[in-house]
Structures are given as structure tokens and as C-alpha cells.
Structure 1
Amino acid sequence: MLDTDVRRILATTAIGHLATALPDGAPHSVPVWVDAEGDRIAILTGPDTRKARNLRRDPRVALSLTSPDNPFEPVIIRGRVAEWIEGDAAWEIVDRIAAKYIGRPYTREQQRVVALIEVERQSVGMC
């Protein structure tokens, strides 16, 4: 279950920083748009991006966010991708997240999928 404070920050335009593992075990970190999807966290990506390939091979993630209202209130999450959503169902989520960040639906020039992260650990504030 998502903590109330985590859910509050996910509802903002905070940019997430997603860490995955490369094939050799090295870390790979990229900025991502995020939002709550039920009790999971949704991120969008291209189906063939490095992060998607990393997550399909090893679903474990670390995700950090900084509240736009309070940069001294970091959110730290660990979990794993529990589900991939594609097609029309993915576009509904992608467009909702895009509207939050850029005020309009996402361009259809690129294919997008959604990864749903099951949260295993979460904390808000200085750790």
C-alpha cells in the first residue's frame, strides 16, 4: 500500500529518478514521469529502451523523487515491476501522466508501454 505522503508527492510534477541494473550489474539511472496507479507506481517508457530491457530482465528498481514544494523531503522507494501494460490500456495511463506534466496527451510519434511498480519499501523525508 502506498503511504499517504508518497501518494501526495506522486500526484505532483516531481520527476522520478529510476535506477535499474544493467546486464553486467552496473547501475543505470534515468529521469521518469511517475504517478500512482492504484497501490502501484506507473512509469512510461518505450518498449525497447535500455530501462525497459533492464526491467524485463531484472524487475528490481530503486526510485527517488524530490517534492517540488520541499526539496528536503525526498521520497525513496524500492520495489519491482509487477506488470507491463501495452496498447490502449497503456495509452490511457500515459495520457493521464502526460496531462499532469505537460498539460496534454502524449504524442503518438513514439510507442509507449507502462510498467507498474509494486512498492516493497518506501520512506519520506531525510533517511
Structure 2
Amino acid sequence: MTALTDDVLRLVDDVNIAHIATVLPDGAPHSVPVWIDREGDRLAVLTSPRSRKARNLAAEPRVAISIVQHQRPNETALVRGRLAEVVDGDRAWGIIDRMSVKYTGGPYPLRTDRVVLLFEVEHAQAIAF
């Protein structure tokens, strides 16, 4: 596991959209925008347990994540890691509501069909171009 640098953490902690890339069953890449936060030293993303990304990760846990600074889109973080844990129940709703407050100012309105994916980071770097 790689420690996240302060530059990467600033991008994670701010209200930035991340893109998560997983691998489809046929080996093709699949990338979608997501909210991102951290839970301890892991990165957190919420999703439906039946989403394409959740199903992809159940078969192949490797992931690539890019995070772009919303006010300065030339600043980005590039992260590679692995799915470490799928969190559900009350613990998941605590994380989901915290993420929703970060992005929308209020708790997550949909109260069913969500889990949190926690990723262990294997490589992370912040770059500006």
C-alpha cells in the first residue's frame, strides 16, 4: 500500500469529480465519473451493488482513478489500486451521507441500493500540466 501525498489528498478532500476505470468482462476498459472521499487511508466511492463498476470489480479488483481539480483542470491525481472492501449497512450510510454533504450540502436522498467501495492505493501521484 502506498501512502497518499498531501497533493493527492487535497484533490481527494476537495469537491472534485473523479473518474474510475475498471475492466469489463471482455477485457475492455470501463470509465465513469464518481464522487470520491477517503475512509482512513483508503479511497471511498459509492455505487449500487449491481452497477457495472461493482460487477467489474467483483471479477477484477484492480482500478485506476483520476481526480481533476475543478477550478484548475490542469491539476490532477493519478491513482492505481485494488478493491479492498465493500461496505454496506449503517457504516456505509455514514460514509455515503458524509460524501453527499461534501458534494451537495445535504444527506444522500436515496436510502436504498447503495454500498461503499474502499480501495487500497498502490500508486498515487499528483501532476500539473
TM-score, scaled relative to structure 2: 0.94
Structure 1 CA distance for aligned equivalents of residues 128 and 64 of structure 2: 16
**1:99 matched to which residue of 2?**
101
The alpha carbon displacement at 1:70 in A equals: 2.0
**2:42 matched to which residue of 1?**
40
Identity level (%):
52
Structure 2 CA distance for aligned equivalents of residues 4 and 22 of structure 1: 32
- Given that 2:11 and 2:76 are in contact with CA atoms closer than 8 Å, whether structure 1 keeps it comes out as no
**1:119 matched to which residue of 2?**
121
The alpha carbon displacement at 1:108 in A equals: 2.8
Q: Is residue 82 of structure 2 the alignment partner of residue 85 of structure 1?
A: no
Aligned ranges 1:52-67 → 2 under 5 Å: 52-67=54-69
- Given that 1:76 and 1:124 are in contact with CA atoms closer than 8 Å, whether structure 2 keeps it comes out as yes
**1:10 matched to which residue of 2?**
12
Structure 1 CA distance for aligned equivalents of residues 111 and 46 of structure 2: 14
- Given that 1:2 and 1:40 are in contact with CA atoms closer than 8 Å, whether structure 2 keeps it comes out as no
Unaligned runs of 5+ in 1: none
Letter of the structure 2 residue corresponding to residue 91 of structure 1: W
Letter of the structure 2 residue corresponding to residue 120 of structure 1: E
Letter of the structure 2 residue corresponding to residue 10 of structure 1: V
**1:20 matched to which residue of 2?**
22
The alpha carbon displacement at 1:71 in A equals: 1.3
- Given that 2:23 and 2:30 are in contact with CA atoms closer than 8 Å, whether structure 1 keeps it comes out as yes
- The 3-state SS of whatever aligns with 1:47 is coil
Q: CA RMSD in A?
A: 1.2
TM-score, scaled relative to structure 1: 0.95
Runs of 4+ with >2 A deviation: none
Question: Aligned pair count?
Answer: 127
Unaligned runs of 5+ in 2: none
Structure 2 CA distance for aligned equivalents of residues 110 and 64 of structure 1: 27
